[in-house]
Structure 1
């Protein structure tokens, strides 16, 4: 699973969207070979969105459940078919449950202590939240083997900077999972954004360290 993340480079974060808006978005993502999607459980009814996507797309999309740090939501996510779970911080409880259940867990980190704790627990693919370009660069020294995935504020304007700074992948939210564009069905503009991301990533694949 982690290798697939790194190959694809982008995880799209779904928040505050209806099921139909999410389906419309996923159709465009798949057309551009993006198939990693996270449904944030900060939204009420996130389990229904995840379940609906799973029923619609099956294995075509690698579906994750985000903002998971409570066991209740963790259980809901697994029952709805989540392929992996993420949390904004390092949750010792979710880490323990994920190991027991054999599901990929991507904990969030920000401080060096967070990173060390995650490594001690056996996790080296980490969500850097909130995203911080300077922090990412500084962590390459003491944590050269950690695979960081920055989240928060990533767009076409800075994605290359993050990847060139050593990010293994990035999480992108409202720039792509955009409520305004989807609610008025401006799918052409959304398609342009997604296609541009694909072009940007394609221009640097093979040249990153």
Structure 2
């Protein structure tokens, strides 16, 4: 499965960092039921890997986030992840994900990182931290890299989601606004209208 398949018509990557399993299931089911997104679980702890395993057993696409080593790629695949996400560009992680058959979404924040990620076979890129980069960064990078498909991540919520989508983001990686009580419904409403 590719990101083209995973994110077609789904502009939301809901990031469930440090969320207990019961709450993660509740949020993930709301995201899946909306038809607007997929779920990512950052796997920085054994508890997070178990959370990923539980969510993956639900039968919907779930990815592993904050993947920074080949060992984490292996743990993600074993737990049932169908994609991996990283905060930066590490070519060893890209290769490990590709070898495991998992599409990888590397974090990029410079034109050089975009170039190197594309050269490594990653068409979908995580613009991170999007809140600091701003929508203008996406507009400017689309010129020299029209083939890049960006997932703007970091500092995104209902208040600014339309700006990033209008600037060319194909999807939005959203953590805090999704996991905060009452934060998901307004974001989903904005995405339905956009």
Assess same fold via TM > 0.5. yes
- Structure 2 match to 1:173: 175
- Structure 2 match to 1:81: 80
Gaps of 5+ in 1: 182-189, 205-209
| Residues 97-116 of structure 1: CA deviation (Å, up to 9, x unaligned) | 12222211111111111001
Determine if contact 1:14/1:40 at 8 Å carries over to the other structure: yes
Determine if contact 1:6/1:169 at 8 Å carries over to the other structure: no
Determine if contact 1:109/1:115 at 8 Å carries over to the other structure: yes
- Structure 1 match to 2:47: 45
- Structure 1 match to 2:193: 203
Q: Partners of 1:72 and 1:2 in 2: how far apart?
A: 22
Following superposition, the deviation at residue 32 of structure 1 comes to 1.9
Q: Partners of 1:121 and 1:71 in 2: how far apart?
A: 16
Q: Partners of 1:35 and 1:29 in 2: how far apart?
A: 6
Determine if contact 1:15/1:43 at 8 Å carries over to the other structure: no
- RMSD between aligned residues: 1.5
Q: Between Structure 1 and Structure 2, whose CA radius of gyration is higher?
A: 1
- Structure 2 match to 1:70: 69
* SS of equivalent to 1:8: coil
Within-5 A mapping of 1:35-184: 35-55=37-57, 57-58=58-59, 61-131=60-130, 132=133, 133-178=135-180, 181=181
- Provide the TM-score with structure 1 as the length reference: 0.85
Number of aligned residue pairs: 189
Q: Partners of 2:55 and 2:184 in 1: how far apart?
A: 19
